Amino acid sequence: MIPRVAEESLRRYARGFPLICITGPRQSGKTTLAKLAFPKKQFFSLEDPDTLLLARSDPRGFLDQLSGPEELLF
């Protein structure tokens, strides 16, 4: 595994911001970075058709499956 300098920055930003967006080209390591930085968070991929359908059709129901907003990782 390649150590990522951005991992520590990501954790630092998470202490001060309620939402962080990691952007970049496909298959550049965004998901890997997020999972390494926040290993205890639940992960949801909106590329999964069922997850995306639930998030679009019933956003409140989708968010209700979480124990709290701090548990969310996409």
Note the pLDDT tens digit of each residue in 32-54: 999 999 988 888 888 899 999 99
pLDDT for position 50:
93
Are 31 and 47 part of one and the same domain? Answer: no
Contacts of 6 (CB under 8 A, 6+ apart): 33
Per-residue pLDDT tens over the stretch 10-37:
999 989 987 888 888 999 888 899 999 9
Q: Are 20 and 10 in contact (CB under 8 A)?
A: yes
Are 49 and 35 part of one and the same domain? Answer: no
Are 26 and 4 part of one and the same domain? Answer: yes
Are 32 and 47 part of one and the same domain? Answer: no
Structural tokens at position 61: 């129901």
Which residue matches tokens 């202490």?
15
Are 22 and 52 part of one and the same domain? Answer: no
pLDDT for position 64:
83
Does the predicted TM-score (pTM) go above 0.75? no
pLDDT for position 1:
58
Domain of residue 73 covers 42-74
Are 34 and 54 part of one and the same domain? Answer: no
Number of domains making up the chain? 2
Q: Are 48 and 74 in contact (CB under 8 A)?
A: no
